[in-house]
Amino acid sequence: MKVPTDIFERIAVQNQTENDSSDITKQAYRDGAVAVVTLSYQPIKGEKAWFMTAYYFGETDLDKTIFPDEVPPYGFKLITRDGMALSVIGPQESIFDPNTQDGKNFTKLYDILFDSKSFRQVG
């Protein structure tokens, strides 16, 4: 994602490995995830807040986890390309007052996340 510098400085990215203690991360790798990454946002004051978790799968493997009438375990399928898929859980809504700078930043991040033009192809 292309994120403005002032917001980028507030984002922490953590690669979640197969050995991560999170059950959902372990299950994602068992289900075929190639990579799992968590993004957090550091507000101007206060504790770091979770923003989203992104899952990178072969599209066929991701599709096997999605069932009608059930919440997808790895969130919303955001992008598919060349047989691969990026799915994202979060954010549902900002935990920050929308009139504060953190609230505005969080909203801007959300808008960027769901704007396909904000993504660049790697490789």
Domain ranges in the chain are: 5-118
Rounded to an integer, what distance in angstroms lies between the CA atom of residue 41 and that of residue 8? Answer: 9
Find the DSSP H helices in 31-90: 59-63
Name the residue among 35, 78, 49, 85 with its Cα closest to residue 64: 85
pLDDT given at position 113: 79
pTM: 0.84
Rounded to an integer, what distance in angstroms lies between the CA atom of residue 6 and that of residue 4? Answer: 6
Higher-pLDDT residue of 121 and 20 is: 20
DSSP 96: S
